[in-house]
């Protein structure tokens, strides 16, 4: 087991000239389950392939443990990788697929046999060992791909969106299973996904990547409660954080050391002395509805999405979209104007460039 450290990792592909990774630096301590989260094209898979050694970084360093492996061959890094489409060798049986890496390392036959048996027991693959990948369901293939990784007993596990080809139910099961595996093996795992639910439920820490840059690195709580910038704020959460563009005026609020933020039809008093353009972030669950004129302002109902346990109310606050998450079923006709309240303690502020202000 070992930690993984990236130092100012940059990767530019020759064909585009557009950097897929820019100056990414992070450290994954030994035994951590790190989720790399980002929309497609953000560079998260490139980062993973760089760690695996399948891509050579343009600049920067990669360390596994204390060892610099930036230019080492994949075989020399002692990492195991689970691919999005599993990449099970179609001409080999499950047993041969799992044993492949061990054979490549020229382990003695008895040792291979023992380790394959152990891995297949752990994942419940016993009956499938003599089948070929084409004869397996996608869930079974997923397990075989896992088996192929754990049989190596590597220093680092790399997962490249391994659950994206499964249906929703199976995905939930596999999430739990992967976490169980992590607890048992206590291995360093780096898990790439675009699914924030996977990130929030599985990651001990989450690294949010966007356009090749590391936007935030923190626990799921951090990322949710204190997003580093507007992108993270919008990306995490379903639906994401409301961002309202407004102008802060501290003139009238000098007495309290705060200011008043006008955004659309809302006028929000804030405990922040700020003058000028300011973006207000507020999560839908911190927006509540009330009678006209009773809250920070009024808005017009656009669409109501009842989800059973809660209702998402899409509103138009003077040209700015706002979503409110209301508990239970909430019936209100489209076009109706209602008042809005926001939880003053749960407000986030970003400057015009999107960076967090406070």
Partner 1 sequence: MRRWGVAVGAVAGTALLPLLASGWAGARAERALAARIAGTTAAYIALVTPAASGSADYDLPHLLVEAGALARLPGWTSRLEVYRGTAPLVRATAGSLSAATMAALRQQSGVLWWNGAALAPLQDKGARDVVGAVAVAGRPGGEVWRRGALGGIAVPALILAIVLAFGATHPAARRPVIRAHGAVALLVGVAAYANVRAVARDNTDHWLEQTRLLVQEATARLPTTDVTQLATTIRPVARAGGEGADLRPGGDSAAVRVRRVRFAGEPEAVVAIRVGWGRWLALRTLPGETTTGGWLWLCLALAGLSPAVAALLGWVERSRARPRRLRETLTAWGFLAPAAAHLAVFSFAPILFALYLSVHRWSLGESAKPFVGLENFGRVLRDPLVWISLRNTVLFTVQVPITMAIALGLALLLRRHSLITRIARTAFFLPYVASVVAIALVWQWMYHADFGALNWALSALGLAPVDWLGNPRTALAAVMVVSIWTQVGYQMVVFLAGLQGIPDAYLDAARVDGANAWRRFWRVTFPLLKPVTLFVLVTGIIGSFQVFTTVYVLTGGGPLHATDVLAYRIYQSAWGLSQFGSASALSLLLFAILFWVTWTQFKLLGKRVEYA
Question: Footprint of partner 1 on this chain (CB under 8 A)?
Answer: 49, 52-54, 73-75, 79-81, 83-91, 100-101, 104-105, 132-134, 136, 141, 148, 152
Minimum separation from the CB atom of position 68 to partner 1 (A): 19
Minimum separation from the CB atom of position 35 to partner 1 (A): 20
Which one, 52 or 296, has the nearer CB to partner 1?
A: 52
End-to-end CA distance of the chain: 38
Minimum separation from the CB atom of position 62 to partner 1 (A): 14
Minimum separation from the CB atom of position 83 to partner 1 (A): 5
Instruction: Output the DSSP codes for 133-145.
Output: GGGS-HHHHHHHH
CB 47 within 8 A of CB 214: no
Which one, 44 or 141, has the nearer CB to partner 1?
A: 141
CB 316 within 8 A of CB 300: yes
Which one, 25 or 138, has the nearer CB to partner 1?
A: 138
197's enclosing H/E stretch is helix 196-202
> Exposed (0-12), middle (13-18) or buried (19+): which is 103, by Cβ within 10 Å?
exposed
Measured CA to CA in angstroms, residue 102 lies from 52, 182, 344 at distances of 17, 21, 58
In 3D space, the residue among 7, 31, 5 whose CA is nearest the CA of residue 21 turns out to be: 7
Minimum separation from the CB atom of position 134 to partner 1 (A): 4
Q: How far apart are CA 119 and CA 121, in angstroms?
A: 5
Which one, 74 or 321, has the nearer CB to partner 1?
A: 74
List phi, psi (to 5°) of 277. Answer: -70, 130
Tokens of 70: 């930036």
Which one, 15 or 238, has the nearer CB to partner 1?
A: 15
Minimum separation from the CB atom of position 91 to partner 1 (A): 4
Which one, 103 or 343, has the nearer CB to partner 1?
A: 103
């Amino acid at each position: 087991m070992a930690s993984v450290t990236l130092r100012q990792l940059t990767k530019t592909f020759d064909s585009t000239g557009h950097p897929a990774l820019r100056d990414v630096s992070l450290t994954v301590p030994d035994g951590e389950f790190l989720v790399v989260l980002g929309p497609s094209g953000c560079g998260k898979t490139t980062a993973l392939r760089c760690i695996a050694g399948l891509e050579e970084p343009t600049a920067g360093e990669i360390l596994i443990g204390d060892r610099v492996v930036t230019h080492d061959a994949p075989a020399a890094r002692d990492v195991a990788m689970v691919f999005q489409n599993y990449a099970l060798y179609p001409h080999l049986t499950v047993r041969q697929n799992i044993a492949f890496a061990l054979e490549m390392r020229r382990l003695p036959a008895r040792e291979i046999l023992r380790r394959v048996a152990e891995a297949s027991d752990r994942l419940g693959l016993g009956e499938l060992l003599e089948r070929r990948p084409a004869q397996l369901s996608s869930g079974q293939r997923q397990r075989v791909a896992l088996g192929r990784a754990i049989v190596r007993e590597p220093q680092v596990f790399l997962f490249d969106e391994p659950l994206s080809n499964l249906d929703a139910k199976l995905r939930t099961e596999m999430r739990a299973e992967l976490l169980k595996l992590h607890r048992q093996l206590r291995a360093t795992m780096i898990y790439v996904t675009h699914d924030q639910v996977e990130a929030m439920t599985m990651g001990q820490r989450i690294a949010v990547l966007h356009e090749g840059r590391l936007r935030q690195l923190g626990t799921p709580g951090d990322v949710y409660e204190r997003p580093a910038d507007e992108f993270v704020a919008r990306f995490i959460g379903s639906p994401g954080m409301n961002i309202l563009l407004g102008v802060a005026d501290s003139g009238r609020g000098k007495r309290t050391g705060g200011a008043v933020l006008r955004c659309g039809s809302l006028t929000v008093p804030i405990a922040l002395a700020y003058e000028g353009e300011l973006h207000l972030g507020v999560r839908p669950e911190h927006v509540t509805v009330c009678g006209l004129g009773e809250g920070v302002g009024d808005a017009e109902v656009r669409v109501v999405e009842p989800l059973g346990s809660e209702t998402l109310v899409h509103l138009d606050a003077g040209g700015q979209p706002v979503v409110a998450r209301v508990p239970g079923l909430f019936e209100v006709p489209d076009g109706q104007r209602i008042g809005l309240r926001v939880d003053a303690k749960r407000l986030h502020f970003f400057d015009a460039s999107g960076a967090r202000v406070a």
